[in-house]
Structure 1
Amino acid sequence: MTRAGRWIEDATTRLNEVIVSRPRTVVVAFLLATAVFAGGMTAVETQTNPTEGFSEDLPEQEALDAIENEFDEPFTAETERTQLIHDGNDVLTREETLTMLRLLERIDSREDLHMSSANGAATAIAGTIDPSAETPAEMRAAVAGATDAEFRRVVRRLSENPGFSAAVSDDFNPTEASASTTITVIRHDVPQGGADLQSIQTDVRTLANDEPADIRTFGTGIINAETGRVIADSLLIVMPVVVVLLLGFLVVAYRDPIDLALGLFALLMTLIWTFGFLGFSGIPFDQQQIAVPVLLLAVGVDFGIHFINRYREETVQGYDAVPAMRTAANQLAIAFVIVTVTAVFGFGANVTSGLDPIRNLGIVSAVGIVFTFLIFGLFLPAAKLELDRLRERYGVPEFGTTPIASEESALGRLLAVSVSVGERAPAVFVVLLLLTGGAFGAYGAGVDTTFEQEDFLPPEEEPGYVEYIPEPFAPSEYTVTETLSLLEDSFSASQDASLTVYVEGPFEEDHALEALAAPTDDPPDTLAVGEGGRAETTSIVTVIRSHARNDEEFAALVARNDLNGNGIPDRNLERIYAALFDSPAASDAGRYLTDDRRGAQVEYTVESGATQSEVSADGRQQADRYRYAATATGQIVVFDAITAIIFDSAIQGLVLAVGLSGVFLVITYGVLEGMPMLGIVNVFPITIAVTSLVGTMRFLGYPLNALTATILSIAIGIGIAYSVHITARFVDEYRENGDVATSLRTTLTGTGGALVGSMLTTALGTGALGLAITPVLGDFGVLIAMSVFYSFVISVIALPPALFLWDRLRSGSPTAETTAPVEPTGDP
């Protein structure tokens, strides 16, 4: 050991001496800290908007926000709007229209629902029948007074109206005047301090359910309400399973009710500290954060099993409690610090992400790991000593005092097999493992990256196990995903197959409209869906042309100012706009041109089957062709931008976690033991484990998404603990006897037994997330469990040959092994 290493060891020994000599003081201090953090738990806020935070500061999202704020978008669900989705065989009959208008009348009569306006197929029909009808009651009276023939003529006439077309489903038949689905959007003028949108939309849903027709309520408030229930239901399903699994393994590992209670109390303290930090820091608890308590419980169990197991290894040899705890604490302290720091690097690497939810997950999980180390590294041994003294004073018997595995046990012999195998040809095994890991990594480089709102929502069909979940753990009924599917199926043209370009410029200038229409002539492939390879667009230009066909006076005005005869006016544009906005087409014009004439949007129809990345790339290329400043936006483009950031975050987090962990371990082993190459040996197994995980993800079809993108760096943070614990124990044994094979066998039969227990608890505990309601959490749980298993198995398999090779390289002889204890002095 180096001089610096001895100084660090002496400092650690002095700290551990405080723990074993003044355990009661340590226990009281931690209990007081727990009380403080418990106060912070009351300030924890739940983030119910599933995609909020992912698109913040993106230019594409800023353009989309500008569109939603500046344009009159009557059929989109925004913050203060509620969608009523009317579904049936034919919802454009007079009777079904009256049903919708009657519902609007009931909503309008409720002052607490703050309805300021409503736009949809029913209101458009009523407004055409009687242009003077303004309230839902007047509109209902107008429709009720119309004949069936008059009603159908109005619907046929409205078929050329873009606003009406956007409000009816794709199967709209203008000849039969029929459609299976319509959308009506209600605007709410909620005063400052008034009711929140969630409660308003819940009340609207209650009114809609009273109607005989199938009218669904949809909007931001409904999504947030169900997302909140998803978070609560997922926790209610997952956490009891995690607790039961961990409890089962703790019973096997501890085999003593008092030790078991102590371990569970330490886990509870970890959660209190972490959630208290959430409250004090103001970081919201969202769906991603559900993974944090599961991870911390799994890591805490790992620490607890190691400590109790190492303590028992000393007590079974006849040592008293204090000397046994002193030895266990001294041997495990450095290993715990190394594991904690590398876990912080792994979890904390996500703080570099450009997405707030992933960054917050990195912060909270990294802080939680530090809390776990403090509680299990300082509080647990002190509390264990105090409890053992009380047991001895009151004569309480011990029920389990032996470690999990020994050299003579079947588990010990199984774990030691890799020592015999790795000793024969270590270089060959190391090269073979490197090639295997490289092959997995090369294959896994093609793993998909996605970002979809549906990832955060419950599946349309509940998993089969849900029906067997008893109350009060049974989840709620959800409608959001089913409603989204209905919208996607019924309104495919407006839901998915479109892209928007937001254009900023002075649109009163002559030729401004020509400049707006010019880029449609030769668009990129995914936008060339019109005749002759032109783009199929909807904009203020198409609204002007449409209104000119229906209004002779307006058509004459356009013709007088159209210099080249293409239907697009080239001068006196402000006069054109004034006439347009003072006509029945004003609502359509307001969708595509702002009141100040400084902003316009152009909607493009997209080639069916085009991928998100293809559409986004072509949209950005098309935006660059505009004369004025233009930005491609829309859900497709925003989600594609987020997807790119997710992939960058995953790779950046992985590289950062591996790099920081490797540098830290090299420095640590160099300073402590004078053997820096042990740091490289430590990173070797986890690197292979992560590349194997990525290859498995691609093979099984798991994509990198908003949560699984963190899996690579988190796998480093969790998985490296196995190689660190094995290496740390190996170094201690190697100091004593100087023989690699003997040291490895002792390590794998002693520490290896504890690693098996912690691997099972961590894998099954985190794997319980697979039962979560939302797919993104389920995928994350399965992959974490898989990464833990890979990390353990590969550490047991890869470390023995790597350590044999390390020793032979150190000694400069392919067969050099010493039989007497040595004091290593450093790498060559």
Structure 2
Amino acid sequence: MSRLGERVEDFTRRVNEVIVSRPRGVIVAFLLVTAVFAGGLTAVTTETDATGGFTDDLPEQEALDAINDEFDDPFEADEETTQLIHDGNDVLTRGELLNSLRLLERIDSRDDLRMDSANGPATLVAQSLDPTATTPAEQRRAVERATSSEIRQVVRQLSENPQFTAIVSDDFNENHASASTSITVVSHDVPRGFSDDDLQDVQTTIGELADDEPADIRAFGPGVINSEFANIIGDSLAIVMPVLVVMLLGFLVVAYRDPIDLALGLLSLLMTIVWTFGFLGLSGIPFDQQMISVPVLLLAVGVDFGIHNINRYREETVKGIEPIPAMRIAANQLVIAFVIVTVTAVFGFGANIVSDLGPIRNLGIVSAIGIVFTFLTFGLFLPATKLEVDRIRERYGVPEFNSTPIASEDSTLGRLLSVSVTVGRKAPALLVVVLLLVGGGMGAYGMGVDTSFEQEDFLPPEEEAWYVEHIPEPFAPDEYTVTGTINLLDERFDANQDESITIFVEGSFEEDHALEALTSPDDDPPGTLAIGPGGQADAQSIVTVIQSHAENDEEFAALVARNDRSGNGIPDRNLDRIYDELFASSAGPQAEQFLTDDRRGAQVEYTVEAGASQAEVSEDGAEHAADFRYTATATGQLVIFDAITQIIFESAIQGLILALILTTVFLVVSYGVLEGKPMLGIVNVFPIAIAVAWLIGTMRYLGMPLNALTGTILSIAIGIGIAYSVHITARFIDEYNASGDTYTSLRTTLSGTGGALTGSMLTTALGTGSLALAVTPVLGDFGFLMAMSVVYSFVAAIVALPPALFLWDRFTTSGPRPNRSDDGLAAAGDD
């Protein structure tokens, strides 16, 4: 061991000596810190916009924000709308129209709902019957006075009105005057600065009013979506945490087999959660859906530390060693392993900090800090508390219920775990090569895994899972409608819900060639934009506004014709005068949506091919923007979501590589400094690399993409999974230094530490797997994959480490070693 290694061990011994000699002081210090962090719990805020945080600082989002700023009048009030989705056998009957109007009348009577106007089939029918009916009450009376046949006649007449056909479903039948679904848009008169929370309150209240109606009418809008996002967080925690606690209790009862030790473990877990979420509140980081995974991850690591601590302590006490010397031995042996596990876990979790996406960065920060807290509570607080409690038990004669370790060499579990040692000794090189080939193949296959980012990832499924109906109050989740509404709109309004992108063009649009330059790229657009006649683009711009107004205004048409030298309907001189006339006309408000007041910015909206992927549309949008003579930028939700998708994939790979490099370097340096055996660091990383390769291969095979949360799984899997290799190696080194025999050391390690690892694996896998019960698919997928990564890491450590350690012993050790002889090996092989 080097001098530095000796200093490190000397420091850890001094720390451990404080724990065993002054346990009360340690306990008091931790309780005081817990009180401080408990105060931060009240400052925790919840992020209800599940996708909003991902777009922060994104160039594509900044371009869209710039468009909104350019084309919105800062002195006008904001306009907010709520959609009322009316579904039924036929929503255009007299009775159903009256149901819609009664709801509008109730909304209009509430000043706090700020209704300014409403536009829907019921209002259009009522105004066709009585043009003077401007309020919902007047419109209701107009429909009440009409007969069913008169209503049908008006609906047939409105079938020629694009405004009407746009808000009824695709199954609208003109002859029968029927449709299964309709949309009514309620506009709200709101002051400038009307917040998202205010809109959420308004739309939630409207939804409650709609629920009271006999018809199937539901409110829909950003406020409703954010409200459900907020409920999802609470409901997911209410489902997952009790299940997690029950599972942990079950396995901890088996692992500890002593109610007092069980209580100490749970107290340490609780303290870890309080510290972590107290930090969350004090730091100002919001709690979002991704953060639901943090307590599960911390509990998983905490359980691992707790089981190892108590189990190692018991291995010494069953030998008759007194508590303080036993804890000193256990702590001195485990603290280095705990430090290594903590640092590597911080590397694995914290690697997500490199992501360009805010929520993923926040997850990396909070989980990395939480792992440090976990080490402190289980590495310092738990041993001190265990010693103090045992003193009290001895003083008052409280019996120990079961103080034996989980497994031993003589137990069935111990013998089963050590099988890989016997197999690995016979052909270690062959086994390592086979494992490398299989792992490499799975990794190569897994690199074709899909990546996605969709709003639906954060929403609950339309159909509730089978177990939801069996959840008792108050844990039962709310009823969710957003996903069903989105699916209904996609199904019934497919023809009216075209996907689109926007291209923002910057330049001087008073130059003679400006409008020609704005339209010329549309003659030969890329594939997903070529949906117009003759393969042209279907675009809406200041040019289409000019042409539309010219069709309705002869004087304006003449002005355009006089300034159209090419005769193609696009003016190419005196554009400043044409703009002045257009903006002063009835088409002015529409023109303001496509050309800025200073005439130096224009936006063009393109309808894209139905069913085209985000990647295809984004690529074609960027290609089309490059064809403009002026500076042009493609943006819109499809483009933004595709940019996020690419960042998720890049973040996943960068996080994986960073975690692997940092972990490998740290382990090589650690084992080199502490034991003079740097190659053990490479050996440690070997199993986790195989486990991650299997994990990403499994993701592709099961069709589970890298998304907003599962994109973090690869580096997190390293952070959690490396613990199994580290604990085995740490125990192996101690046994190896004592005996010098690899085979005997591995058998002792896997039958002793392997038992604790098995208990830790079961609790961690089932604990993280409980996330599969969460309301949203993104959390469910993460929980399932997290459980798989734990199982893979455990199996890889048990199967891959023994042959790797045999090879390490063969190539790094030469000359005679103590207690190692052919007779000794033969005797060990007879076990």
User: Structure 1 residues 71, 119: CA separation in 2 closer, same or farther (over 3 Å shift)?
Assistant: farther
How far does residue 333 in structure 1 lie from its aligned partner after superposition?
Answer: 0.5
Q: SS at 1:186's partner residue?
A: strand
Q: Which is further off, 561-570 or 743-752?
A: 561-570
Compute the displacement of 1:84 (Å). 2.4
Shift of 1:525: 1.1
Q: Aligned residue pairs: how many?
A: 812
Q: Which sits farther off after the overlay, 45-54 or 167-176?
A: 167-176
Q: Which amino acid aligns with 2:310?
A: I
Report the AA paired with residue 181 of structure 1.
S
Q: Distance in 2 between matches of 1:566 and 1:157?
A: 29
Letter in 1 for 2:42: T
Deviation at 1:470, TM superposition (A): 1.4
Q: Is the 8 A contact 1:406 1:412 kept in 2?
A: yes
Q: Distance in 2 between matches of 1:46 and 1:603?
A: 35
Superposed CA deviations along residues 47-99 of structure 1, whole A, max 9, x for unmatched, are 111112101122221233344455579xxxx9943222334455567876665
C-alpha distance in 2 between matches for 1:806 and 1:10? 27
**Structure 2 partner of 1:182:** 183
- Deviation digits for residues 117-176 of structure 1, max 9, x if unmatched? 5455666777899998876567778888997698458635532x6xx6654544567788
Equivalence for 1:824: none
In the alignment, is the contact (CA less than 8 A) between 2:524 and 2:537 conserved in 1? yes
Q: Against the structure 1 CA distance between its residues 49 and 520, is the aligned structure 2 distance closer, same or farther, given a 3 Å change threshold?
A: same
The alpha-carbon deviation at position 505 of structure 1 amounts to: 3.5
Q: How does 1:593-742 map to 2 (within 5 A)?
A: 593-742=595-744
Give 1:197's match in structure 2, choosing from 185, 196, 199. Answer: 199
Any conservation in 2 of the 1:79–1:220 contact (CA below 8 Å)?
A: no
Distance 2:581 2:168 in 1: 27
Identity across matched positions, percent? 71
- Local SS of the residue matching 2:517: helix
Check conservation: 2:408, 2:751, Cα contact below 8 A: yes
d(CA) in 1 for partners of 2:371 and 2:391? 29
2:522 match: 520
Displacement of 1:603: 2.2
Which amino acid is 1:635 matched to? Q
- Give the C-alpha shift of residue 426 in structure 1: 1.1
Q: Secondary structure at the match of 1:592?
A: coil
SS of structure 1 residue aligned to 2:188:
strand
Whether contact under 8 Å (1:101, 1:136) holds in the other structure is yes
RMSD, aligned CA: 2.8
* Structure 1: distance between partners of 2:479 and 2:97: 29
> Partner residue of 1:5?
5
- Aligned-residue offset at 1:204: 1.6
Whether the 8 Å CA contact 2:115–2:186 is kept in 1: the answer is no
* Aligned counterparts of 1:655 and 1:714: Cα–Cα separation in 2: 12
| Aligned partner letter, 1:257 | P
The answer for the alignment partner of 1:208 in structure 2 is 210
Q: Superposition pairs for residues 412-811 of structure 1, below 5 Å? A: 412-493=414-495, 495=497, 497-581=499-583, 585-586=587-588, 588-811=590-813
Q: Which amino acid aligns with 2:18?
A: V
Deviations 1:438-466 (Å, cap 9, x if unpaired)?
00000001000000100100100111111
Give 1:529 deviation, angstroms: 1.5
Change (3 A) 1:499 1:175: farther
- 2:45 paired residue number: 45
AA matched with 1:196:
D
Shift in Å at residue 593 of structure 1?
3.7
1:265 aligns with 2:267: yes
* Cα distance in 1 for residues equivalent to 2:496 and 2:627: 24
8 Å contact kept, 1:719–1:787 = yes
Name 1:282's counterpart in structure 2: 284
1:398-456 per-position Cα deviation (integer Å, ceiling 9, x unaligned): 00110000001110001111111111111111111111110000000100000010010
AA in 1 matched with 2:190: D
Deviation at 1:789, TM superposition (A): 0.3
Within a 5 Å distance, the mapping from 1:210-229 to structure 2 comes to 210-229=212-231
Secondary structure at 1:501 match in 2: strand
Aligned equivalents of 2:744, 2:399: Cα separation in 1: 35
What is the CA distance between 1:473 and its match in structure 2? 1.3
What is the alpha-carbon distance in structure 2 between the residues aligned to residue 603 and residue 744 of structure 1?
Answer: 67
Q: What code does the residue aligned with 1:85 have? A: I
CA shift, 1:188, in A, is 4.0
* SS of alignment partner, residue 196 of structure 1: helix
Which shifted more, 21-30 or 554-563?
A: 554-563
Q: Using the TM superposition, name which of 753-762 and 213-222 deviates more.
A: 213-222
Gaps of 5+ in 1: 822-828
Code of the residue aligned with 1:669 in structure 2: it is: Y
Taking the aligned partners of 1:128 and 1:56, their CA distance within structure 2 comes to: 46
Would the aligned equivalents of 1:457 and 1:480 in 2 still touch at CA under 8 Å? yes
- Tell me if 1:344 matches 2:335: no
User: What SS class does the counterpart of residue 112 from structure 1 fall into?
Assistant: helix
Aligned-partner Cα distance in 1 for 2:512–2:141? 45
For structure 2, which runs of at least 5 residues remain unmatched after alignment?
Answer: 822-831
> What is the aligned partner in structure 2 of residue 356 from structure 1?
358
Query: How much has 1:578 moved relative to structure 2?
Result: 4.8
Query: Does residue 1:158 correspond to 2:144, yes or no?
Result: no
Give the CA deviation at 1:596: 4.9
Residue 192 and residue 581 in structure 1: after superposition, are their counterparts in 2 closer, same or farther (change >3 A)?
closer
Identify which range, 13-22 or 501-510, moves more after superposition: 501-510
Q: How far off is 1:606 after superposition?
A: 1.8
**1-structure distance, mates of 2:79, 2:28:** 49
Tell whether the 8 Å contact from 2:120 to 2:182 is kept in structure 1 after alignment.
Answer: no
Q: Deviations over 1:732-762 (max 9, x none)?
A: 1111111111111111111110000000000
Letter matched to residue 358 of structure 1: I
Q: Which amino acid aligns with 2:605?
A: E
CA–CA separation in structure 1 for the residues paired with 2:626 and 2:175 = 41
The letter for the 2-side match of 1:375 is T
Q: Distance in 2 between matches of 1:128 and 1:593?
A: 34
